[in-house]
Structure 1
């Protein structure tokens, strides 16, 4: 099975990214369940605004979409800004909206049978709201959400410091990463063998 992590940091590579660190930790956990993974930092690519699969004129989304279509598990990782997901994560959701009109050979929405995980980091409140918003959007688009399918880290309010500044992964985050990955791999394997009914 394959997983794709869309990292929605506002920082282009090679700047350190807490969102990418948490996404990579999920991929590392998925690897223990024989899932291979890849990271795409979305801001490194010219993803145009819009709600179509291809906005033309050099739009990088079609290439990213091909990787989403090929994956069994999608991870959306985002920082928290003023209590909300990043603008990059919002753009990813807007571009995924085009999948509502895409179907497979049996008439199912194109993202049926795929599993989604969410990862959120920030040194302010907002993780639960961001997870709720992303879960709702991803489920509407056709992704299946596993039990406890999100992981997050919030630093102490109004205190400097980022997730990638920590000396070690907090035990609670590590345990959550492990559970989310195990449940996602289990569900993805099941859906690969038992996809939803054809329309």
Structure 2
């Protein structure tokens, strides 16, 4: 059984710069790799993503449709976001809006497109807001059809105010964060396998197209 994971890193930094969010994402990807998960990590700041609540291109430069194709092929979707002013990044909000734009589409059984996919989140920052960001992202994924396993919100925050973030502060040595990264990785994998073997029955959740 092949499980595919797609990670959308919504850091405001492109891939030419180190990302604290990517560093924590890698703790989960490491476990995915050990368990044979085929994982792809995309840095959203590397792409031109137009504004709108649609899965289709909103302008000639909009690269969301190619990202959306990868979402459709994934069994696991992991969203990563830094914290700014206690909230998710603007790119994370943009990605949620674009995911929402495809939420009315259906699978071959007539269920919403994101059924039988599992979702989780990774959050980093050096200020409060991790649970606020997690609650927003997890609710958004659940609302549009993703299955949310238990304990799939992995986060790290340092001391309040300006200061070192995950990489500089050696957040990968934080016992709580590393433990929850492990829990999140395995729970995402367990549920992805479960839904592969036992998809959600097409009963009472088939969308009437008329």
Q: Which TM-score bucket, shorter chain as reference?
A: over 0.9
Asked whether the equivalents of residues 158 and 164 of structure 2 are also in contact (C-alpha less than 8 Å), the reply is yes
Match of 2:100, SS state, is helix
Asked whether the equivalents of residues 24 and 39 of structure 1 are also in contact (C-alpha less than 8 Å), the reply is no
Shift of 1:159: 4.1
* Structure 1 residue aligned with 2:176: 172
Match of 1:183, SS state, is helix
| Structure 1 residues 131-162: Cα deviation after superposition (integer angstroms, max 9, x where no partner) | 11111100011111111011000010124101
- Taking the aligned partners of 1:38 and 1:173, their CA distance within structure 2 comes to 22
* Structure 2 residue aligned with 1:157: 160
RMSD: 1.1
State TM-score, norm by structure 1: 0.96
Tell me, yes or no, if structure 1 residue 188 matches structure 2 residue 187.
no
Match of 2:101, SS state, is helix
Q: Please give the residue correspondences for 1:62-101 in structure 2 after superposition, counting only pairs within 5 Å.
A: 62-101=65-104
Which segments of 5 or more consecutive residues in structure 2 lack a partner in the other structure?
none
State TM-score, norm by structure 2: 0.92
Asked whether the equivalents of residues 27 and 182 of structure 2 are also in contact (C-alpha less than 8 Å), the reply is no
Which of 5, 9, 15 aligns to 1:3? It is: 5
* Structure 1 residue aligned with 2:33: 31
* Structure 2 residue aligned with 1:142: 145
* Structure 2 residue aligned with 1:105: 108
Which runs of structure 1 show a deviation greater than 4 angstroms over 4 or more consecutive aligned residues? none
Match of 2:116, SS state, is coil
Match of 1:100, SS state, is coil
- Taking the aligned partners of 2:12 and 2:169, their CA distance within structure 1 comes to 20
Which segments of 5 or more consecutive residues in structure 1 lack a partner in the other structure?
none
